[in-house]
Structure 1
Amino acid sequence: MSHHLSGPNLRSPMDDARLDLTDLFAFTVPGGRTVLIMNVHPLAPAAGAAFHPDAVYRIDVDMDGDDQADAAFSFVFSPAVDGRQTATVYWATGAQARSQEPGGQQIFTDVPVALGRDPHVAEAGPYLFSAGLRSDPFFADLDGILKDFQWTGVDWGADKNVLGIVLEIPSDELCPDPVIGVWARVSVRQDGRLKSVDRGAHPSLTAYFNADETKQTYNEGEPADDWATYSRPWTEVLRHTGGYDAHAAQEILRTVLPDILRFDRNQPARYPNGRSLTDDVTSTRLAMISGGKVAGDHIGPHTDLFLDFPYLGTPHPDPATG
């Protein structure tokens, strides 16, 4: 899977779907604008339909290539009461961007979260924001992958939902340089402190590369430490799964370590240069781990996406309620 169920034993971190990062997207749209999307909560609303009120959902932005956050967008949510919840969005820069705590300028305050079919779009000057239940854009023949690449032709994500966090801002206001790096993180407050329980940028890394006993450590880590920590064990994974020699494996890993999604906004978004909602990341990752022996899973992108904000499709009915 992409980044769904990124805790041990193919479960959500802390067994709480609200804390489960599923995907990160970064692309541009006409008018010189950058879109950042962070999806969480696989299988919503079957496992509930609200963001965690003690969590900080966060998108970090590296503007100078040093693998450190130079800007950070933090999203915090009120408790859900009678099916209603609100969101507040912070934009921090500089030293504040490297703190796990939400800080900086509040660019949206107490925006209603859309927990039904229709999105709620908030505007604040040139910024657009929406959070709530949406269809999951991730597509893959998951059963076929689990059956040693005996393809079923069934898209696991065709009827699934997530909770989406969508932000659109003028590209120059985010960063004048067209090249940025982004990653997402979910932290939850415990005993008065924030603990990172999930993080990622590139799709399907932890599913293929991290053993259960290392997933928590990975989720707590910082991208700046990724190469030193994971290049050697992940090289061994590629040697085993794809027959790579050490040099070839490390060359491949340079595209995903550190786990920061690089995006040259002067070029079209196409993974691994950013990521659009229709990029076939499953086939890309299968080809990578197999040394090209498995070219893809023959599943195409979803057709329920919107051409304009908030881009994510209308949520599917809850199977429990029809």
Structure 2
Amino acid sequence: MIAAAESERTVLIMNVNPFAPTQGEAFHPDAVYRLNVDTDGDDIADLAFSFVLSPPDGGSQTVTVHRATGDRAREHAAGGEAVISGAAVAFGADPNVVDGNGYRFSAGLRSDPFFADLDDIVNDFTWTGNDFGIDKNVFGIVLEVPDTELGDGPIGVWARVSLRQNGRLVSVDRGARPSLTAYFNAEDVKEKYNAGDWDTYREAWSAVLAHTGGYSAEDAEKALRTVLPDVLRYDRSRPAAYPNGRTLTDDVTSARLAMVSGGKITDDHIGPHTDLLDRFPYLGHPHPAS
């Protein structure tokens, strides 16, 4: 999840399915992918962009972008006006970039920008320089928004995926700040986190910090309060660099390692990917299927 400035416009990126296309050859047609924006600092969505996909048909798929404000921005369903309709999802090397109603948009298979030595993080930090994401792909959603849409002050941004189950939309994933789910959410905790009630997962998350970084209960809560609620803050008057927004080259893994280790580990020695584009949609061309 990234928020970064581009000449009085802000680029929002939501990447899903980190093993694309092996664990899903298209976006889920029964899901609502959502980017939420808080414009007044209360951690409640004031503006939401929802992305709804058609069923895949012979290797093709289309997406409609809905813009909602106020109460409709807080619903799981895609509400508000359709600002881009029927845009083709790009499954090949070249992105499909669509301009409409003041927005620029692209969705499709892209190179995964996430860089980290994941194997050695779980292997007692015996760094070998193996970048987990170097050959992986994601399904990327990239939306460029005029700053006039976002108010005058700092914004908060977070992503959510809701899936239709038994006739209703259920939150199955959400996030903004990097790696929180990976480090803190066991499967039984993830449901509580997705529901958004801090009191239901505070104890479990504090236990993780006690185990990984030797935190006391008081220090664990203090550390968690710096990243919760899980909203990515972005002050557009300052350059985007995590934790003020996030760019595709920010070393977010090292920032999270420092947190969970209590400052003992500050670097996994993996640098950013070099296949990023210098133009919209910024995510690199997808890697060939292995």
Q: TM-score range by the shorter chain?
A: over 0.9
8 Å Cα contact 1:56-1:76 kept in structure 2: yes
Render the CA deviation track for 1:186-209: whole Å, top value 9, x for unaligned: 111122211111111111112211
- Give 1:233's aligned residue: 204
Aligned with 1:100 (options 76, 83, 92):
76
- Give 1:38's aligned residue: 14
- Give 1:318's aligned residue: 289
User: Displacement of 1:49 after TM fit?
Assistant: 2.4
Summarize the alignment of residues 42-61 of structure 1 with structure 2, pairs less than 5 Å apart.
Answer: 42-61=18-37
> How far apart are the structure 2 equivalents of 1:286 and 1:301?
16
The secondary structure found in structure 2 opposite 1:250 is helix
8 Å Cα contact 1:93-1:104 kept in structure 2: yes
8 Å Cα contact 1:127-1:168 kept in structure 2: yes
- Supply the AA of the counterpart residue of 1:111: A
The secondary structure found in structure 2 opposite 1:152 is coil
User: Displacement of 1:288 after TM fit?
Assistant: 0.5
User: Displacement of 1:241 after TM fit?
Assistant: 1.5
8 Å Cα contact 1:126-1:170 kept in structure 2: yes
- Give 2:52's aligned residue: 76
- Supply the AA of the counterpart residue of 1:102: A
Q: 1:211 to 1:45 in 2, by over 3 A?
A: closer
Summarize the alignment of residues 1-322 of structure 1 with structure 2, pairs less than 5 Å apart.
Answer: 24-29=1-6, 31-173=7-149, 175-219=150-194, 221-222=195-196, 225-226=197-198, 228-319=199-290
> How far apart are the structure 1 equivalents of 2:30 and 2:186?
28
> How far apart are the structure 2 equivalents of 1:70 and 1:164?
23
8 Å Cα contact 2:158-2:230 kept in structure 1: yes
User: Displacement of 1:266 after TM fit?
Assistant: 1.0
8 Å Cα contact 1:49-1:133 kept in structure 2: no
> How far apart are the structure 2 equivalents of 1:34 and 1:84?
28
> How far apart are the structure 2 equivalents of 1:110 and 1:98?
24
> How far apart are the structure 2 equivalents of 1:275 and 1:269?
6
TM-score calculated relative to the size of structure 1: 0.87
Gaps of 5+ in 2: none
Question: What is the number of equivalent residue pairs in this alignment?
Answer: 290
- Supply the AA of the counterpart residue of 1:202: R
The secondary structure found in structure 1 opposite 2:93 is coil
The secondary structure found in structure 2 opposite 1:156 is coil
User: Displacement of 1:184 after TM fit?
Assistant: 0.7
- Supply the AA of the counterpart residue of 1:43: F
User: Displacement of 1:129 after TM fit?
Assistant: 0.3
> How far apart are the structure 2 equivalents of 1:276 and 1:149?
25
Identity of aligned residues (%): 64
8 Å Cα contact 2:155-2:235 kept in structure 1: yes
Gaps of 5+ in 1: 1-23
8 Å Cα contact 1:67-1:260 kept in structure 2: yes
> How far apart are the structure 1 equivalents of 2:147 and 2:278?
18
8 Å Cα contact 1:35-1:168 kept in structure 2: yes
8 Å Cα contact 1:49-1:163 kept in structure 2: no
> How far apart are the structure 1 equivalents of 2:51 and 2:137?
20
Render the CA deviation track for 1:238-276: whole Å, top value 9, x for unaligned: 222112233332222122111111111111111111111
